[in-house]
Structure 1
Amino acid sequence: MKKHINKSILYSTILVVTMLINTSCSEDDLTGRSTLVATNPNLSIMLDFQNNETLIEEETSYAFTVSISEPQISDTRVYLTQTGGNATAGEDFSFPSFVTIPEGQTTATDAISIHADDIIEETETVQIKIGTGLEANINGSDSETVMFNILNLEEGDLAISLSWDTEVYQTDGTEFEPTDIADLRLLVTDVPYTSVIGSSDEATFESYTLTSTSPDGEYYVIADWYSAADLGTQGTFPVSITADFNQIGVINDLNFSFVDALDSGNSCSSVYYIIAKITKTGENYDISEIGENSPVTAETFVGTATIIADDWADYAVGDQITLEAGATPYEFWIRAYNNPYISNPTTAYMIVTIDPLTGNVTVQSNEDFDYGCSEGDVTGNGNVNACAGTIDLLLNFGLGDCGDYQGNSFSLEL
């Protein structure tokens, strides 16, 4: 009997050990823990709002969700930080310093809160970055920068805000912040644009309030350049712009967006974009979309220019030449007063006609340039740059019995 009991105990012990071994070797203990290993997941951020919000100051929250590509064996923290703006943390807004994605999960949701107060203030802004790059065990933090323009409006005021996007990347693949490489101004002007009535030129996106006491009439809303970054070999870049309009109880986030409205290659204040026209009557605002580039006129190209290149060799590099106003605001004349190779330098000139929307030009001589040939027709095309004061042409010389000569580079700079 004793031997029998001992065998039973022995068999039971073997069975328990075997079960323990099998259990410990299982790929899943039904808790999820045993299948997880430490990895470097990718981070993504989804906003329940636009990344540039203009709002009238009131108690409200803006939710966002952070996600990782696969669950982890420990909690994952995604950090937030304020990167700009003049609003006061804790009074005008609040946000969590970090969001925790619990172990074994892939998402977490939190919110940025905007607070109301009874103090009438100037427009305040706050810029917050979600995903600071300080996150541990995350491969390449996919951050999101959000901007809030907090308006303190009175009844009858119209708030206008301007934001922009560039989609330009650094050599390491990180996207430039739009305000780091493009600095635009928001202008409110008369119609047509001859003078600036009000403007905003901050270090971030822009906002302006047209008050109820402003005179009735028509106003243009315009974006123009303060400066653009020189990206060297990356070249120039386009800028897409968005304007938002708000009036308490009447207009709620009316916005107009324009893709590639401006380009850093033409980034001086004489180049602008007409966004909208406002017709104000008392506290009523009729807002219509315009979406037009500033016209390129001949005014910039009147004066004395320096020869930069002349394939035809009528002039030497460095020589100076006279440019005169033409018959229309979009026409100027390149005079031939100093051309030593023609017999009619005082009467012959090239008429340059500008396409006001593109800056492209066509060229036609007013009469034959008399080189001693049976004909002397000069034609061509090219472009002008109002910011740089440059004129780049390709000229064709139809000289009859002397031959035709196409595509001769002729470049000037004022």
Structure 2
Amino acid sequence: MSKAAAQPKPNPAQLNAKLQIQANRLESEIHTTRGLAEQAVVDSARSRSRIRRMGEQLEEKSKDLDAEIQHLEWAVEQSGQERAKLLSQVEQANANLETTIQKYAEQLQQKRTEQAEQEALLRSELQMYNTELESLREFQNQRAQMEEELRHLDQTLIQHRQVHQETMEQFKQQLKREQEHYERENQRRVREAEQAAVNIKDECLEAAAIRCIQDSQAVSHQLRKNQFKSRDILNANNELVKKIESLKRDNQLLTEREKILMGDVAKYRQQIETMKMKIAEDEVSYAKERAKIETESAEKIESLETECSELEKDNESLQKQIDFLRQRTEEIEGQKRMSSNKQSGLMKLITSTAPFVLDSLKSDSTENDQPPPLQALINKLTEAVEDEEAAERQAAQNRGQAPKLTSTTVQTTNPNMQFF
């Protein structure tokens, strides 16, 4: 008791001042804690609003991604239909190419057959005309001999005509002389007969008349014989003239026929050459047309195959985009779930830290140490922040990305009230 009595009693003024200082500090701490609580409530409201906005944004992004995925699936389906259409066009082009090639081959074979038949027909006609031409050439070889014979016949005919004319002149002169002689003889005999008729008797008149009649008959017979001979000579002459004219006509006809045959042979040879040139031109044209069709078909097929490959690449790119969008959607869904978890965790944290805040507001604290309720609040907040950072690191590792570290600092008037 002596020791207790020996200790000086505190001055009430000092005690009041000290209490006032502690009260002011406690009021400041209470004000700060109250501000922190209000800030925490505001931050919680902001977090709720931000989480709500993030949820709405995630919903919009999910809708946009769903629409984009549907559009990409529709584009993939359209590209598949386009690819099937292009493949159908390629098959149709190949079928048309085969049909066209077969058609041209059949037409070419038909033309070759027709041209071969026509060429065979022309060759047979040419052979026939060549045979006839050979016969005409044989006749042409005999032509000189026939012309020589014709000239000889002409000369013979001329000679025969001259001989005939001379003979006829001789016959005419002889006939005239004989007629004159017979007329003179008849006149003489008539005169003699008349004279004798006077002188001789009647029995002698009959014998003289008979002899005169016989002489007249002999002269008439000779005249008829000469007339028949002249007629035969004239007939032979006419036959020779007709034969010469017939040979001339035959010669002229053969000459004209030879010219016609030579023209026909030249024409048929020209037709054969023209047909050969036409066949060659048709074959060249067919080869060019076939090469052109094959080139165009190959280019078209190559273009269609290029389009198909591009469509396949586009399909692969669209498929990659769809996979990426699906992955992104899953990540957004995960972030959405994580945000929901964060929101629920924040609400749990606020709910769980509210008693500690109230206890810290009600408790007293010295200058050197923290009050137990406030320290418990700090520990609780630090534990929550560490759990959140660990969850974020785990999520980042699951996504294969570097974790994003976040730091939270709570500043109070006490230097020791800082945590991360």
Which TM-score tier does this pair reach, normalised by the shorter chain?
under 0.3
TM-score, normalization: structure 1? 0.17
The structure with the largest helix share of the pair is: 2
- Which has the larger share of strand? 1
Q: TM-score, normalised by structure 2?
A: 0.17
For the pair shown, the structure with the greater C-alpha radius of gyration is: 2
Q: Which has the higher contact order (CA 8 A, sep 6+)?
A: 2
